[in-house]
Amino acid sequence: MKNIAIFASGTGSNATRIVEHFNNHPTINVALIISNKKTAKVLDMAKSNSIPTLLINRTSFYKTENLLTDLASHQIDFIALAGFLWLIPPYLVKHFPNKMVNIHPALLPKYGGKGMYGQYVHQAVRANNESISGITLHYVNEHYDEGNIIFQATCPVTTTDSVQDIAKNVLKLEHYYFPRILESLLAN
């Protein structure tokens, strides 16, 4: 069995899709959901699916390596960042080489970096009159949104699409592809 930990700070709609996808999977298990926000909806979802949760704080995350002990105790093999907005510290990158992926709601290398998340990404895509947007799955390194790209999928952006329309179309791609790409990465 390969055990995944999902890191998420918010609503957790991607985390929910991943949990649904691997429910009763023969070889892949969502073993832990980690959040930096006590009130994050993703923690409620984890609890209702009987998945262990861990709430982390900034000091411990950046100033200690205690998280490695927690991950080891849940025998975590792979990490999926699904709407997790903190920069990943070097000790964690080193411990999960090519075993930690992030999903980004745009076609990197465009619209990435610190502060480029969620609605801010879609607003920038709209403001620049892009004709396509999409999703990027990439390995995580020590810089925001800069690890090697694993997969991208695109959706058209029409001149009449609002920021919300773009967000909805991009999220649809994320929900479809994120669990499937994870599955293929974990099969290897």
Chain residue at closest Cβ approach to ligand GAR? 83
From 35, 51, 105, 166, residue interacting with ligand GAR (rule: CB under 6 A):
105
Number of C-beta neighbours around residue 44 at 10 A: 12
104 an active-site residue?
yes
The span of 6-14, 29-37, 62-70, 151-159 binding ligand GAR (CB under 6 A) equals 6-14
Task: Return the number of the residue (69 or 144) whose C-beta is nearest ligand GAR.
Answer: 144
Please say whether the beta carbons of 46 and 20 come within 8 A. Answer: no
Identify residues 65-104 at the interface with ligand GAR (CB under 6 A). 82-83, 103-104
Instruction: Name the pairing type of β-strands 100-104 and 132-139.
Output: antiparallel
> Which of 104, 138, 143, 175 is labelled catalytic?
104
Residue 13 as a binder of ligand GAR (CB under 6 A): the answer is yes
Give the containing element (helix H, strand E) for 172: helix 163-187
Task: Return the number of the residue (2 or 138) whose C-beta is nearest ligand GAR.
Answer: 138
